[in-house]
Amino acid sequence: MTQRVLLIISGGIAAYKSLELVRQLRKRGIAVRAVLTQSAKQFVTPLSLGVLTEDHVYDDLFDLKAEREIGHIQLSRQADLVVVAPATANILAKMANGIADDLATTLLLATDTPVLAVPAMNVRMWHHKATQRNLERLHADGVHIMEPDSGAMACGEFGRGRLPEPEAIAAEVQRLLALPQRADPLAGQPDFARDDLPLTGRHILITAGPTHEPIDPVRYIANRSSGKQGFAIAAAAVRAGARVTLVAGPVHLPTPPGVDRVDVETAREMLAAVAEALPADAAIMVAAVADWRAADAAEQKLKKDGSGQPAPLALIENPDILATLGRHPQRPTLLVGFAAETQNIAEHARAKLAKKGADWIVANDVSGDVMGGDANAVQIVTAAGIDSWPVMPKAQVADKLIEKVAHALTSRPD
Ligand code: CTP
């Protein structure tokens, strides 16, 4: 049966991309019916949308003909998924507060069909506390939210807030349409999607990013971890319905909507935050924890003395967070470590599995530009064997890994 999307286009400059989104969705065999807000009509015309969707385009709540023939409630209920793209800060605010003052927002309030919002806005509007608060609320209400891209914006600024590429949105729509839907879409709880998700009711604990180990007040030991893979896993776990605690080292990444984030600097702080977050059903340790720290971080800035002697810097080992969890009385049911390798990947990963008491090691080949890049090639090493995945975007690695975690958790006794 053809799957149907109700596409609500709100008024931002990114609205022009909705035409390409319609094309991408239709290419995937998905039927699209479009609704425009009044301000969206300043950016795209009902005519061009009508041609691409091969359907009537809706924009007026008081279009009596449509009200009589279809009605605003049916309009959204006939769809398998409601997609708001682009979702401006304004429409997100209305959605979060249940305001229904035009056709688009009335549909959103009246629907019990799953909703995907794809925000696009100026970087400052995105980071504004009010927007972030609205996103948290929407997430708690069960709305799926796609993280905007970052880059140059139409307004001349730079940062997060760009509408993701139509192809990426179409892929997300396809993924959501493939999720199990509630049996009776008309007679259920308002938090329709959350109950059905594979990790609903589970707590997933994730570490991400590097740690910074102080040498003196101005210097520290660090590494090149960007935190992207761990953050992507946290976002994927939320999408799968989990409660997620993300213990993050110093990185400049926005918190994925719905994630409980704890920021730390050092390995010892990371260990304390991880222990504090227990119990967890699964822990996925993605952080590149510094193996050593300065034995005595100096209170004053260290001075060179011109003697040409080695620096007065003694290093001692940091606690191993993964290994600590491996033997912890509250050990998570599933314990997953990451291992950065440049050679003999599987062999090293197997040794780590045993040494750290983990269930799986996700071995990533860092011989390319994985650190900081957007793609990753991983092998999942378990007692049962090795699962090698092709190179794919970190977001896709995250989704696949979370799928595997959900499968493992549901097929294990608690
Ligand atoms: N890890 C940790 N605490 C540490 C060091 C590592 O929790 N102090 C975790 C990492 O988060 C990761 C795994 O252990 O899940 C990586 O182990 P590690 O022994 O550091 O492996 P590599 O980084 O691959 O380094 P090496 O091969 O040098 O051992």
Residue whose CA lies nearest to ligand 1 atom number 18: 339
The pLDDT of residue 189: 34
- Residue among 268, 284, 291 whose CB has most ligand 1 atoms within 8 A, to mutate: 291
pTM attached to this predicted model = 0.60
Q: Going from the N-terminus, what domains does the chain have, and what CATH number goes with each?
A: 4-187 (3.40.50.1950), 203-411 (3.40.50.10300)
Quick check: 223 and 261 in contact, CB under 8 A? no
Query: Active-site residues: which are they?
Result: 155
Ligand 1 binding pocket mutation candidate from 338, 348, 365 (most atoms within 8 A of CB): 338
Contact 103, 38 (CB under 8 A): no
Q: Among candidates 109, 113, 69, 76, which has minimal Cα distance to 91?
A: 109
Q: What is the sign, positive or negative, of the torsion defined by CA atoms of 414, 202, 263, 355? A: positive
Q: Which residues of the chain have pLDDT under 50?
A: 64, 182-194, 414
> Nearest-CA neighbor of 241 among 189, 197, 179?
197
Q: What is the pLDDT of residue 377?
A: 86
For ligand 1, the distance from its centroid to the CA atom of residue 139, given in whole angstroms, is: 33
Nearest to 105 by CA among 116, 115, 91: 91
Cα 320 to middle of ligand 1, angstroms: 7
Other CB atoms within 10 Å distance of the CB of residue 182: 16
pLDDT for residue 215: 96
Cβ pair 138, 92 in contact under 8 A: yes
> What's the token pair of residue 336?
């997953």
Q: State residue 318's pLDDT score.
A: 98
Rounded distance between C-alpha atoms, residue 227 and residue 213, angstroms: 17
pLDDT at 365: 80
